[in-house]
A and B are shown apart, each in its own frame.
Chain A
Amino acid sequence: MWSYERRLEFPVNIKTPNAKLAQAIISQYGGPDGEMSASLRYLSQRYSMPYREVAGLLTDIGTEELAHLEMVATIVHQLTRNLSMEEIEKSGFANYYVDHTLGVWPQAAGGIPFNACEFQVKGDAITDLMEDMAAEQKARSTYDNILRLVDDPDVCEPIRFLRQREIVHFQRFGEALRIVQDRLDSKNFYAFNPEFDRCGDCKDENN
């Protein structure tokens, strides 16, 4: 169950359209390291996570990622609203425009559509949390790359906010990994998968 709050997590008020920049930033909507991948990854991984506080963290970060998805869509929308046909043709936006007009569709900067293969739900607590930490760093790198393309402070500020959140989420997932490892066999974290193997206290010396 979710409820909607009619506000952005961080304000976005862009005065000057820039279709070229929108085409780069849309990657954080539907691209490989974007917010759609992030939210679906965490919200899908939580069901088989046996530790309640880690499942809670996946829920809360997954929920915050939905707020980030809305922020990225807002940036793309405000960068492309009120574009003239001339601007669309000049900025190289015609290829996107022909399929989606000025709607916001989940795709990578290169035009590749959003795909669930961009993230994994492995059903193994260590594997999934390691992926989550890597995902936060990949998104942070993407925001760093975007920031090198941006001059407009109206775009810079919300992108900087989103970049900073990746770092905080990385920190929290690291703590979640520690919580999981504290409950596993300290001599061999891989002795059993707490999301699958039923004997929580078994120690298989062969693994």
Chain B
Amino acid sequence: MGNKEQLLRDIGIVCFTVTELCLYLDTHPTDKNAMEYFNHYNRIKQQMVREFSQKYYPLSLDQAECGKEWQWALAPMPWEGECA
């Protein structure tokens, strides 16, 4: 697995933590510990997504900076998989 694939997997793990904490907080909106966890992992998520988008291709439209070509359209689609 290359650096790109490893970073994308790590982003998946951190994003999963954020999703899970989001659903938990929806039904426990005053749980201070959960909110601290959420803030912590959400910050890491944003840093990692920014790093990936600068090095490889934009993962979301707000990371799509125009350079030589429109990477948002040209980058691989997620259903292609690593074996494509």
In the complex with contacts A5-B60, A6-B60, A172-B27 CB distance below 8 A: yes
Known: A9-B12, A64-B23. 7 other contacts (CB 8 A): A3-B62, A4-B60, A7-B8, A7-B15, A60-B19, A61-B23, A168-B20
Which chain A residues lie closer than 8 Å to B16 at the CB level? Answer: 9-10
B24 within 8 A of A: yes
Which chain B residues lie closer than 8 Å to A73 at the CB level? Answer: 79
In the complex with contacts A14-B81, A15-B83, A6-B27 CB distance below 8 A: no
Which chain A residues lie closer than 8 Å to B82 at the CB level? Answer: 11, 13
A133 within 8 A of B: no
A70 within 8 A of B: yes
In Å, the complex CA distance between A120 and B27 comes to 23
Q: Give the dominant DSSP class at B's interface.
A: helix
- Which one of B19, B26, B60, B83 contacts A57 once the chains associate, using CB atoms below 8 Å? B26
In the complex with contacts A3-B61, A6-B57, A6-B58, A176-B81 CB distance below 8 A: no
Chain A interfacial positions (CB closer than 8 Å to B): 3-15, 53, 56-57, 60-61, 64, 70, 73-74, 77-78, 168-169, 172, 175-176, 179
CB distance from A105 to the nearest CB of B (A): 15
Within 8 A of A (CB), among B4-61: 8-9, 11-12, 15-16, 19-20, 22-24, 26-29, 57-61
The answer on a CB contact under 8 Å between B77 and A6 is yes
Interface residues on B, range: 20 to 34
In Å, the complex CA distance between A64 and B62 comes to 20
Which residue of chain B lies nearest to A67 when distances are taken between CB atoms in the complex? B19
A-B contacts, 14 of them at CB < 8 A, read: A6-B60, A9-B12, A9-B15, A9-B16, A11-B8, A12-B79, A13-B82, A15-B83, A53-B26, A64-B19, A64-B23, A78-B81, A78-B83, A172-B24
Which residue of chain B lies nearest to A59 when distances are taken between CB atoms in the complex? B26
Which chain A residues lie closer than 8 Å to B62 at the CB level? Answer: 3
CB distance from A175 to the nearest CB of B (A): 4
- Which one of A3, A7, A10, A13 contacts B83 once the chains associate, using CB atoms below 8 Å? A13
Which chain B residues lie closer than 8 Å to A168 at the CB level? Answer: 20, 23
B67 within 8 A of A: no
In Å, the complex CA distance between A36 and B15 comes to 22
